[in-house]
């Protein structure tokens, strides 16, 4: 059984903080997401990201937490501003599994921050009763693949023509999982 907290908790590991994303985060989110080619290429965030989309996403995440369908976390260093997001999504409470997704401000990439954030969220998820976490990555997104592998995820399958690229061509995705 998954023990879902009524109020989304704040998770900490040293200077790393995962906390619920709030409407006050929208301007900072917009600033680091809009125009980031890697985010548009490797995530489901649209290339034409707007501040309104940031507001809508935060509202959707808040409602999703209440509905037990998503646990979206702002990544912060200490009490600093949001620098990225890591989430549990596609949550299935009955079957004890979820998908993990993440993105990070380009200024903070390559510093092991996302590896630590994924680790912290995975440990928390398994601690409240999840038994399987899945993730998708494009094969050429080497950084994302490394983050998953460092966190004990293993490759399960190549999903052919799974993702539609910005230029409307199809690309493969790699399915990863980690079980408890």
Q: What is the per-residue pLDDT across 79-102, written as a single tens digit (0 to 9) for each?
A: 899 999 999 999 999 999 999 999
Strand intervals (E) in 1-45: 11-13, 16-20
Q: Which of 29-43, 112-126, 146-160 has the lowest mean pLDDT?
A: 29-43
CATH superfamily assigned to domain 11-135: Gcn5-related N-acetyltransferase (GNAT) (3.40.630.30)
Closest CA to 87 of 135, 46, 16, 53: 135
Q: Is the pLDDT of residue 40 over 90?
A: no
pLDDT digits (tens, 9 = 90+) for 100-134: 999 999 999 999 999 999 999 999 999 999 999 99
Q: Which helix (H) or strand (E) holds 149?
A: helix 142-150
Query: 86 forms bridges with which residues in the sheet?
Result: 73, 102
Q: Tell me what percent of the residues of the chain surpass a pLDDT of 70.
A: 100
Mean pLDDT computed over 136-146: 95
Mean pLDDT score across all residues of the chain: 95
Question: Residue 106 has which token pair?
Answer: 């380009």
Measured CA to CA, the distance from residue 121 to residue 158 in angstroms comes to 25
Mean pLDDT computed over 37-54: 89
Q: What is the pTM of this model?
A: 0.94
pLDDT of residue 32: 93
Burial (CB count within 10 angstroms: exposed 0-12, middle 13-18, buried 19+), residue 72: buried
């Amino acid at each position: 059984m998954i023990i879902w907290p009524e109020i989304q908790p704040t998770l900490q590991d040293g200077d790393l903080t995962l906390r619920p994303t709030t409407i006050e985060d929208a301007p900072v989110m917009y600033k680091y997401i809009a125009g980031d080619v890697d985010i548009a290429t490797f995530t489901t965030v649209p290339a034409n990201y707007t501040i309104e989309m940031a507001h809508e996403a935060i509202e959707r995440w808040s409602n999703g937490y209440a509905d037990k369908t998503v646990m979206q976390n702002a990544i912060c260093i200490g009490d600093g501003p949001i620098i990225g997001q890591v989430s549990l999504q596609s949550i299935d409470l009955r079957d004890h599994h979820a998908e993990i997704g993440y993105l990070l401000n380009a200024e903070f990439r390559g510093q092991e921050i996302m590896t630590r954030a994924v680790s912290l969220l995975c440990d928390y998820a398994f601690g409240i009763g999840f038994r399987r976490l899945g993730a998708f990555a494009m094969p050429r997104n080497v950084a994302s693949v490394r983050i998953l592998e460092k966190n004990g995820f293993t490759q399960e399958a190549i999903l052919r023509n799974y993702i539609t690229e910005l230029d409307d061509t199809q690309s493969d995705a790699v399915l990863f999982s980690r079980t408890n």
